[in-house]
Structure 1
């Protein structure tokens, strides 16, 4: 099961255009799947916009038991439009 999940899960999720409630539901399942697939790092694409989605994503990451650290994307990764998550 883990091997099949690891082969099908993407190293990034795109939440642009979603409401905070929709995005957090998708993000929660994605983080579970990515952690079970033993990915070391994933990228969450939330866009820049008003910052509401970015703040919600980062607050969710702060509370997640799987997340070791998270940071804004650097130059070439998406900057303020993405959050890069590293798992424990």
Structure 2
């Protein structure tokens, strides 16, 4: 991706395997952090909860994530997680 091209702060993980979803999410968080994006919207769907649980486990231990929560009512709720990223220091 060229340096001047911004990524979408939203990532869609539905219908991916847990392994593929976590790989893509980790790369997306790294890129978002480098581009100084403050919040990432992660669409994992509700389903069985397997994917959302795996996403939350990754976020709990990710050094670039300062906080995360399910989206507000009407904005995806338990099918979407909002991750707040750490601030980059110059």
Is TM > 0.5 for Structure 1 vs Structure 2? yes
TM-score for both structures, normalised by structure 2: 0.89
Q: 2:67 aligns with which of 58, 66, 69?
A: 69
- Give runs of ≥4 in structure 1 deviating > 3 Å: none
> Structure 1: any 5+ residue segments left out of the alignment?
none
State the superposition RMSD in angstroms.
Answer: 1.6
Structure 2 gaps of 5+ residues are none
- Residue 77 of structure 1: how far off its partner (Å): 1.8
Q: 1:61·1:67 contact (CA, 8 Å) conserved in 2?
A: yes
- Would you say the 8 A contact 1:35–1:66 is kept in 2? yes
Q: Do 2:71 and 2:78's aligned partners in 1 also have CA atoms closer than 8 Å? A: yes
Q: With the length of structure 1 as denominator, give the TM-score of the two structures.
A: 0.91
Higher helix share: 1
Aligned to 2:82, the other structure's residue is in SS state strand
1:11 Cα deviation after fit: 1.0
Q: Choose which of 62, 80, 83 in structure 2 pairs with 1:85.
A: 83
